[in-house]
Chain A
Amino acid sequence: MGTSKATDFVTMNIIESSMISACREMGITLMKTSYSTIFNEALDFTCAIASAEGEMWAVAEFCPAQIGGMPLIISSSLKEIPLDTIHPGDVIVHNDPYRGGLHTPEHTLFCPVFVDDQLVAFTVAIGHVAEVGGMVPGGFASEATEIFHEGIRVPPVKIKKRGEDVEEVWKLWLANVRTPRYNYGDMRALISGVEVGAERLAQTISKYGVDHFRKICADLMDYSEARMRAEIRDLPDGAYPFHDFMDNDGVTDQEIRINVECFIQDDEIVVDFEGSSPQVGGPINATLGVTWSAAYNAILHLTDPSIPKNSGCFRPIHVLAPAGTVVNVDYPAPEVGGNTETHPRIAGAVIGALAPASPERAFASEGGTHLNFVFGGQDKANDEYFACYDIEVVGWGATRHADGNDATDAINGNCRVTPVEVFETRYPWLTEEVSLIPDSGGAGATRGGLGTRRIWTCLDAEITCSQLTDRHVHQAWGLNGGGSGTSGMTLYMAAGSNEWQNMMQAFGKASTSKWSNVVIKPGDRVEIVTPGGGGYGSPAERDPELVQEDVAEGYVTAERAKADYGLGAGGD
């Protein structure tokens, strides 16, 4: 390992920038040509470039959940489709969670890049397809007890061969989803994204020559590895344990433990999840791809953000995820919630573990859920079924130097909330309220970020709703004496009633946070409350002027200002 004396850092920087630019263009293509709001509004996708051997060379700054899992997805897929069977114009699709995938909605598309008749690279797009069949519209089957409840599973297959659609694959896939027109449009967008990227990359490779380009990329990965090793070397050696809990799995009420011990050993880190709960009956099991992704996500947060993100920077990180546990689920146990709900808990546990080693960069727990409110119904105007995956946002944990961000997507998302105007145009809901929740951030010298409240009224259609979320019980933890963030909550009010109830009370569900196929009728209302982030440091050390500002802005009530920070009405 180590960059050779002949490393051309200038060309390396230019090529890396070109590749990232191509990845960004892939994402923009996806955003602008897709049909579903999960792509064109929420941007729930990632675009990358990989070598022909499956190592990630470059990735754009979209969704962290998919960035860390990319190397495993690529390498697993290429083990099943030999390189000598791949031709120009092919596109491969795959979503199998047990073969390197993240969860059933996440579809990975690969497009080979040929230059001078050589297969040099792949462009890759991973996107969350909103509707994948299975027992609920919108993909998050909270009451699933096996993979077959969670939607159609696609092993690595070609969806295009030598530039032509493979009709059998299209027909099979579209026959198993509720919204074939939207799925067709979204898949076409994913394909367009990787094909645009392939064209750009081929131009870049041609400009520099295949051999020189490969050498530069190899040097780039070695450079990233060296930078990451240098970061790790600066951390004190030692064993750093931590654990956190998922509330339940939606099937039973038992909490689930995420256990981690991080070993910093000179310039390497071993992230060992031994001691985590065995895999569970409900769909919050994480695949190995999710656990890799979460561990990498956490370490990237704690190291220099200028380190180029490619397979090289992950080489000094060893992730140990015992098979058959909640962090490495075995077939055929359900897993759809692992990518959105368990990933934040895993990443948070790694950050919590390494906080003593990296106090300047560590932060208290963020809200750690995407809320995953999914629904479907019949669009009367167009006489067509609609389905939606709605993401909500949470409070982030405070750092040593700053309050946590309010209303931001969880650590593995980087997704946007669909604007109310777009949401109401597409779906039969009226948005009554979207607001920040005072006092929801954990108290501290720096305060946790605020969660949000959203209230909808169902308009003129029956809507089948489901949700897979967490942090209704176990709150986002504070760090170094900081307080916890508040819990999330989902409530229902029937038309004509004035009583809010949770889903266990209203519909007899096993969990308040994980429930499936509740029919919401016109006039019914739904309220979603999202968790706040944890605080950092003792509240006694918070600058009183900042507390006063919080009260003036409505972030903290006068009552909590007195109770948490000792601030009286006179500001003293």
Chain B
Amino acid sequence: MRFSDTGYYIERYIKCGNCGVLVYDEGVKASDPKLEGQTFCSDWCVDWRTQRVNGNKAPRIKTG
């Protein structure tokens, strides 16, 4: 998210390139050039999106 210098309004809404959640901090970047320029909320989302854009239709990424 990019707030104005005053903090009174939002200049730009930044959303995770995979799950769509708002990203308030710097976020996570992907190393895959196909995902250049996108921001992600977590390593999980980076992994999922990376696998999807590279043809894996059902990635498996465990969290718990």
A residues sitting closer than 8 Å to B (CB atoms) are 1, 72, 76, 79, 98-100, 225, 229, 239, 263, 265-268, 270, 288, 291, 315-316, 318-323, 328, 330-331
B26 to chain A, nearest CB (A): 14
Are A330 and B13 closer than 8 Å at their CB atoms? yes
Q: Is the CB of A321 within 8 A of B20?
A: yes
Query: From A315, which residue of chain B is reached at the shortest CB distance?
Result: B64
Contacts known (A98-B13, A263-B58); A316 close to B22, Cβ less than 8 A: no
Instruction: Report the minimum CB–CB distance from B61 to chain A (whole Å).
Output: 8
Tell whether, in the assembled complex, residue A318 and residue B64 are in contact, meaning their CB atoms are under 8 Å apart: no
Q: What secondary structure prevails in chain B residues at the interface with A?
A: loop
B60 contacts across to A, CB distance below 8 A: 265
Determine the chain B residues whose CB is within 8 A of the CB of A291 once the complex forms: 20
Interface string of B9-40 (1 = CB under 8 A from A): 01001011111111010000000000000000
Nearest CB in chain A: distance from B15 CB, A: 4
Cβ contacts under 8 Å, B54 to chain A: none
CB <8 Å contact, B62 and A268: yes
Which listed residue, A100, A239, A322, touches B22 by the CB 8 Å rule?
A100
B62 contacts across to A, CB distance below 8 A: 265-266, 268
* Selected contact of B64 from candidates A99, A316, A320, CB within 8 Å: A316
Q: How far is the CA of A322 from the CA of B58 in the complex (A)?
A: 17
Give the shortest distance, in Å, between A54 (CB) and chain B (any CB).
12
Bound-state CA distance A265–B62 (Å) is 9
Do residues A320 and B44 form an inter-chain contact, with CB atoms below 8 A?
no
A selection of 23 A-B contacts at a CB cut-off of 8 Å is: A1-B64, A72-B21, A76-B22, A98-B13, A100-B22, A229-B64, A263-B58, A265-B58, A268-B62, A268-B63, A270-B48, A288-B21, A315-B63, A318-B19, A319-B19, A320-B18, A320-B19, A320-B48, A321-B19, A323-B17, A323-B20, A328-B20, A331-B10
Q: Which single residue of chain B is at the shortest CB-CB distance from A1?
A: B64
Q: In the bound complex, what is the Cα–Cα distance between A322 and B48 (angstroms)?
A: 13
For residue B15, which residues in chain A have a CB less than 8 angstroms away from its CB?
A: 288, 323, 328, 330
Q: Which chain B residues lie closer than 8 Å to A322 at the CB level?
A: 20
Number of interface residues, chain B, beta carbon within 8 A: 19
User: Which chain A residues border B44 with CB–CB below 8 Å?
Assistant: 318
Chain A residues with Cβ under 8 A from B10's Cβ?
Answer: 98, 331
B17 surroundings in chain A (CB, below 8 A): 323
Q: Are B64 and A267 in contact (CB under 8 A)?
A: yes
Q: Which residues of A contact B22 (CB under 8 A)?
A: 76, 99-100, 288
| Max chain B Cβ within 10 angstroms of own Cβ: one of A1, A316, A328 | A328
Q: Which 4 A-B pairs have the closest CB atoms?
A: A323-B15, A328-B20, A321-B20, A79-B24
Query: Could you tell me if A320 and B20 are in contact, using CB atoms closer than 8 angstroms?
Result: yes
Closest A residue to B25 using CB positions = A79
Cβ A268 vs Cβ B64 within 8 A:
yes
Chain A residues positioned under 8 Å from B24 (CB to CB): 79
Q: Which residues of B contact A229 (CB under 8 A)?
A: 64
Residues of chain B contacted by A239 (CB below 8 angstroms): 57-58
Given A239-B57, A288-B20, A320-B19, 13 more pairs with CB closer than 8 A: A72-B21, A98-B13, A100-B22, A229-B64, A265-B58, A270-B48, A288-B15, A288-B21, A291-B20, A318-B44, A320-B20, A321-B20, A328-B20
Contacts of A225 in B (CB 8 A): 64
For residue A98, which residues in chain B have a CB less than 8 angstroms away from its CB?
10, 13
List of B residues within 8 angstroms of A266 by Cβ: 62
CB distance from B23 to the nearest CB of A (A): 10
Q: Roughly how many angstroms separate A328 CA and B17 CA in the complex, as a whole number?
A: 12
Which partner residue on chain B sits nearest A319 by CB separation? B19
State in angstroms the CA–CA spacing of A229 and B20 once bound together: 24
In the bound complex, CA of A401 to CA of B2 (Å): 52
Please provide the chain B residues from 42 to 63 with a CB less than 8 Å away from any CB of chain A in the complex: 44, 48, 57-58, 60, 62-63
Contacts of B18 in A (CB 8 A): 320
Partner of A331, one of B13, B20, B48, B57: B13
Query: Which chain A residues border B57 with CB–CB below 8 Å?
Result: 239
Q: What residue in chain A is nearest B52 (Cβ atoms)? A: A274
CA distance A218 to B63 in the complex (A): 18
Q: Complex formed: what's the CA distance from A399 to B26 in Å?
A: 46
B16: chain A residues at CB < 8 Å are: 323
- Find chain A residues with CB under 8 A from B19 CB: 318-321
The CA-CA distance from A267 to B61 in the complex, in Å, is: 11
In the assembled complex, the CB of A569 is this many whole angstroms from the nearest CB of chain B, namely 53
Q: Which residues of B contact A323 (CB under 8 A)?
A: 15-17, 20
